[in-house]
Structure formats: structure tokens, C-alpha cells
Amino acid sequence: MPKNLTARPGNQGRTFLNFPFTSELDELEADFAILGIPFGMPYEPSSMANDQSTAPDIIRNAPTTADIDYTKNHFDWDLGGPLLAGKDIRIADCGNVNADAADHKAHYRDAELAAQKILSSGTILISLGGDHGVPIPVLRALEVLGESITLVHVDAHLDWRHEVNGETLGYSSPIRRASEMPWIKHIVQIGLRGIGSAREAEVEAALAYGADLISAYELHDIGMQAVLDRIPGQGPFYLTIDADGLDPTIMPAVMAQTPGGLNWVQTRKLIHGLVNKGRVVGMDLVEIAPKKDIGGITAIHAERLICNFIGASIRAGHCD
């Protein structure tokens, strides 16, 4: 009997919108799977269990889910109808990937295995971080699809460092690691601004690879539709969203609050526009640091973002 890769969420075991919990990933039959991946690879011992590691369960308990019946069944103006569009859509919350205090790397190994099982069953994967290291095992798992994936990245930061403090799998490196994966065909990065871990060498490496770097200011000048038009192909796509790519006025709960980010209308347009261009096989939302939230506003936007992704994917026919 193989060990379970995941365990039930904390916080009284509340799952996302009370959808059923399952850790039986080998027999998964679902259109969407929610998967918490709490722990990145730390740059120093004190950040092994950082604030972001609590975010998967905080998002599951977002204030707008207080009346889950409303969220699931009432008319949602973001979608033009109820969340699941009256269809027989199966959403599974697969809980959080286990961690091993004696073997920190086991968490990424189990996350990759869990993501492989979910993706290979044809299920759309919604991963909740954790910091921006945690998409690395998910991006590795995309290999099981046997397709060329276009990666769309929302972030204030470039995330192209080869290493920080000798660690190559941390939150400053996910897009560099993605660029090394043969199944990632194109990379589009949206929302760049301010100052992060990147130096001129990392910007040059991203440009040499052919990443389309769209600063937040260019986005504000040309609009999200023009950005969508620049994303090549018809998918499949993978969407990684660093919460600090959104403006700190709507997502203040991040470690690096940076003025000038995506507003909600732009974020919603990106989600709907991308799923209407082609199948988005998975997305993640990372780098939410719940202790910095103000009135739950970050968690509210996180829940709206995930509901828009689910509802738009259904309406685009990706679950038919």
C-alpha cells in the first residue's frame, strides 16, 4: 500500500468551499483538484516554516466562503451564472502535501508525485502555496502531459536567479528552472516592477531565452487585451501567480509589497482571456503571507481569483 502523499487540511479540516477531500490520488476522478503545497526550499533555516506556509488553509477559510451556499449556488456576476454553470463538475480538495521534518526535500518529491497523478488523470490542478519555490515540482510534473506548455507568470519579480545562498530550488528561481524544462515552450512574464532578486545578468538571461517581459507599466499603458494577444499559441497553458504581482492595495499580504501592480479587473481579464485562448492545465497562487493581510482583503481576492478560474474554465468547455 503506497503512502498517502497528502493529508487533510488543518483549521478544523475545512476544504475549499467544502468540496470533498480525497488523498486517493491513484483513483482520482475530478475536473479540478485543489492541492496545498506549503513549504518551499528555504534560503536560511529560520524560513523553513515561513508565513506563506500557512496560506493554503487560510485561503480555504477566506471570508467570502462564510456562506458557501451563496458562493457555490447563487448567481455570480463575475461568471454570468452559478460557479459550476449547472453542470456535473467534480472538484476535489486533495489537502496539503505532507512534509518530513528530517528530509526537507521529501516535500518537493511528494508534491511532484501528487501533481503527476492529478495531471495524468486529466484533472486541472490548482496549487496553493507556499512561496514561489513550490511551483518548481509542479512544473516538473507537467512533463507527464507530453505537450509543449506555454508558461504565463504574474509577478512583480523576474524569478530568474540560478541560486540564492546555494539553493537552486527556492522562490527566486522558479522561472529559471522552468526555462530549463524542454516541455516549457514559451514564457510570458507580466507585472514586472520595482526591485527584486534579479540583477542585470538575470534580465539578460531571460531575454536571451526569449521570455516576453511585460512590465506592470507597459500593461497599464497597453491594456490586458493587448497582453493576451501577445501570449502565443492556443495552449496548453500553465499560469503561476505570485500574489505580489497583484497590486498591494488588493493583495497586501505579501512579503514584498510593490506599488503599481495588476488591479482586480486586469487579473480577472487575464484569467478569463487565457482560458478562452486554450486549456490552462494548471495554475498556482503563491506567496500569500497571511499575517500581513488587512481585513482579509488578500484572502477575498484569492478566493475570487480561484472561483473565476474554475468558472471560466468550465464555460470555456475545458471540462466537457
CA distances from 117 to 1, 73, 75, 110 (A): 16, 29, 33, 11
Q: Does 140 bind Mn ion (CB under 5 A)?
A: no
For residue 255, the minimal CB distance to Mn ion (Å) is 10
CA 252, CA 133: separation in Å to the nearest integer? Answer: 20
For residue 196, the minimal CB distance to Mn ion (Å) is 8
Q: Is the dihedral of CA 64, 303, 94, 109 positive or negative?
A: negative
- Total site size for Mn ion, rule CB under 5 A: 5
Closest CA to 59 of 285, 261, 257, 256: 285
For residue 153, the minimal CB distance to Mn ion (Å) is 8
Compare residues 9 and 130 and give the one whose CB is closer to Mn ion.
130
Residue 208 backbone phi and psi in degrees, to 5: -65, -35
Compare residues 28 and 142 and give the one whose CB is closer to Mn ion.
142
- Edge-to-edge strands, sheet with 124-129: 6-7, 91-97, 32-37, 124-129, 280-286, 237-242, 149-154, 184-192, 212-215
Beta strands in 145-225 (DSSP E): 149-154, 184-192, 212-215
For residue 47, the minimal CB distance to Mn ion (Å) is 15
Give the residues across from 237 on adjacent strands: 150, 280
Compare residues 51 and 159 and give the one whose CB is closer to Mn ion.
159
Compare residues 5 and 134 and give the one whose CB is closer to Mn ion.
134
Q: Does 155 bind Mn ion (CB under 5 A)?
A: yes
Site map 158..177 versus Mn ion, x via CB under 5 A: -x------------------
Three-state DSSP class for residue 7: strand
Q: Does 202 bind Mn ion (CB under 5 A)?
A: no
For residue 313, the minimal CB distance to Mn ion (Å) is 23
DSSP state of 81: B
Q: Does 301 bind Mn ion (CB under 5 A)?
A: no
Site map 17..56 versus Mn ion, x via CB under 5 A: ----------------------------------------
CB-facing half-sphere around the CA of 3: CA atoms within 13 A: 11
Compare residues 284 and 303 and give the one whose CB is closer to Mn ion.
284
Cell of 212: 516576453
For residue 23, the minimal CB distance to Mn ion (Å) is 28
Site map 94..133 versus Mn ion, x via CB under 5 A: --------------------------------------x-
Near Mn ion by CB under 5 A: residue from 51, 76, 110, 242: 242
Does residue 254 contact residue 244 with C-beta atoms inside 8 Å?
yes
Q: Which residues bind Mn ion (CB under 5 A)?
A: 132, 155, 157, 159, 242
